Structure 1
Amino acid sequence: MSGRSDKKGEMMMVQADTRIVDVIRQMQEQRKQDRQIFYDIYSQQEKRQDPEKKDTGLFFFRGEKKAPFAVVCAGGGFYYVGSVHESFPHALELSRQGYNAFALQYRTGGAEVACEDLAAAISFIFSHAQELGVSTDCYSLWGGSAGARMAAYLGSYGPARFGGDDLPGPGAVIMQYTGHTDYTENDPPTYACVGENDGIANWRTMEERIENLDAAGIRTEFHHYPDLQHGFGLGIGTSAEGWINDAIAFWQAQIDES
């Protein structure tokens, strides 16, 4: 059993390394085309007033012109931002399926400041939508672990609650492996997935939140995958492989009805 687990872990690491190389190549291709990859979400004055905002911003993975956008928030327990594993690959896959995707580099130090950065990011995208070439209709928020908490909080309370502009909330929230339990009866449609062997975010906790949303009449979809622990990312080569296509289909269904 231990040997099988080790081999599965090694395979996931190889797949992750392949995706990282894929992301870097895509960024290099964008630079060759003289396309901007990174966008600041705060002004220089705001960064001078709060130096911790210096490295915040959005990495843009372009899809089709005027297609809806997604913001992907990586996990890291609010101690670091695991973009290479949990937001860049997701954003790249979304862009390849025609959607405009942004990977958020946010401040560490807790959920509140991270959510403030997500609210600022959404406000930035709305105010620069024409320049960026994105539609603001039925946008989605994605996240894994700590990033899923951010997506859920913004879905529940909207950007203005965290210092952003008075804007519509997301048309869908996509969550991976988090123990987040807070919700409102006005939450957006929510997709969630988790591994059954997750020692950080018990799948029953995620299931209970989804059941509460269901009871409030909110559209949901929930998947729990055998043998998987925390942080499986795209899940390539695991029981979760293909989950991102299910999540995209869930979001697209909300777009079609909006």
Structure 2
Amino acid sequence: MEVLVICFYVLFACSVIVAGREHDSAGKEDTGNKMNTKKEREAVYDRHTKVQDVINDPAFGSYGRLIFPVDIQIDNSLELEDVEEILPWYSEVNPDKTVEIANYMKNQAARDEQIFYDIYTDEEKAADPEKEETGLFFFRGDPGEKFAVLNAGGGFMYVAGMQDSFPHALELSKKGYNAFALIYRPGAQTACEDLSKAIAFISDHAEELQVDPDDYFLWGGSAGARMAAWVGTYGTSAFGEKEYPAPTAVIMQYTGLSEITGEEPPTYACVGTSDGIASYQTMSTRINRIKANGTNAEIEIFKGLSHGFGLGEGTAAEGWLDHAVEFWENNMG
């Protein structure tokens, strides 16, 4: 089953993935003057804003290119309301949420709030130029509160942050938690290396970032869920970093991962019954095996939903994020 899924990813991706990756200069934040008036804080983007206008907005400096997938060709005429066209395999993409996220980022940047962080040094990026296309988007919660790292899917071909990590991060920040959405290098191994590096970066800069490094959790959808599960189970040292504490919980959406080691952290999962990529039976079996090992685990299965439903607003899955947060909180030390 997993081999067939991977083949599907590759065949589908051939029609949308641009050969090679553009290596612009590193995404360090350019900040301008503070803008605090009510007018300047109002929404500047709407459904008909061009995606390229967001990417090239001076407020985002050189990291604007990472807001949308760098491995997908984006037509100059594409508008925010049609972002689903550049998010293969995803469903239930909410244009209003896309606009909300873009405006949130714009307003934060306009207030001189740093919303993007490099995880690799200039020297590391010079040695491996593909690391130019990585980093963390920070959705701030309450100072000193706990944090989550969110990993979007995309079949290890691209990073679908606008559907699979940014919305979740924004909602977590509204609850007071600090949330980091990871932009990683496609490829299972490199993605896990980037996630491990992100955990190291946040942990080592916890005081500067004003986050509580204890009881963090890893979140992911589709390929991103595999990343969360692998790093959560095998640890950061398995992917080139020193050993950092394991996450308190792993939150997984729609992925057909079946392997079990017995070392899994507490795990919450959710999936739809009409998912043609990640079988709900496979996910349910994995959760039951984790529970059989004596580890807390839960799954929610939503009738009729397909792959990549994100927050699931207006669907049978609406409210699942609250359940996932409650699961995380119940497993804190």
TM-score, length-normalised on structure 1?
0.92
Residue 136 of structure 2: aligned partner: 58
- For the pair 1:230 / 2:299, whether they are aligned, the reply is no
Structure of larger gyration radius: 2
Q: Which runs of 5+ in 1 are unaligned?
A: 1-8
Shift of 1:252: 1.1
* Distance in 1 between residues matched to 2:260 and 2:99, nearest whole Å: 37
* Distance in 2 between residues matched to 1:210 and 1:14, nearest whole Å: 25
- For the pair 1:214 / 2:296, whether they are aligned, the reply is no
Segments ≥4 residues shifted beyond 4 Å: 12-15
* Distance in 2 between residues matched to 1:164 and 1:63, nearest whole Å: 27
Shift of 1:101: 0.2
- For the pair 1:201 / 2:201, whether they are aligned, the reply is no
Residues 1-258 of structure 1 correspond to what in structure 2 (within 5 A)?
A: 16-108=94-186, 110-255=187-332, 258=333
- Residue aligned with 2:94, SS: helix
More strand by share: 1
* Distance in 1 between residues matched to 2:306 and 2:317, nearest whole Å: 11
* Distance in 2 between residues matched to 1:15 and 1:115, nearest whole Å: 26
Residue pair 2:91, 2:309 contacting (<8 A) in 1 also: no
Q: Which runs of 5+ in 2 are unaligned?
A: 1-83, 85-89
Residue pair 1:91, 1:103 contacting (<8 A) in 2 also: yes
* Distance in 2 between residues matched to 1:245 and 1:18, nearest whole Å: 20
Cα deviation digits, residues 85-123 of structure 1 (max 9, x gap):
101000000000010000000001x21110000000000
Residue pair 2:93, 2:309 contacting (<8 A) in 1 also: no
Shift of 1:16: 1.3
Cα gap change, 1:23 to 1:118, in 2 (>3 Å)? same
Residue pair 1:31, 1:37 contacting (<8 A) in 2 also: yes
* Distance in 2 between residues matched to 1:235 and 1:207, nearest whole Å: 19
* Distance in 2 between residues matched to 1:67 and 1:249, nearest whole Å: 15
* Distance in 1 between residues matched to 2:92 and 2:230, nearest whole Å: 33
Shift of 1:25: 1.3
Shift of 1:181: 1.3
Q: Percent identity over the alignment?
A: 55
Matched length: 245
Shift of 1:26: 1.1
Query: Which amino acid is 1:235 matched to?
Result: G
Residue pair 1:59, 1:103 contacting (<8 A) in 2 also: yes
Superposition CA RMSD, Å: 1.4
* Distance in 1 between residues matched to 2:141 and 2:242, nearest whole Å: 25
Residue pair 1:197, 1:226 contacting (<8 A) in 2 also: yes
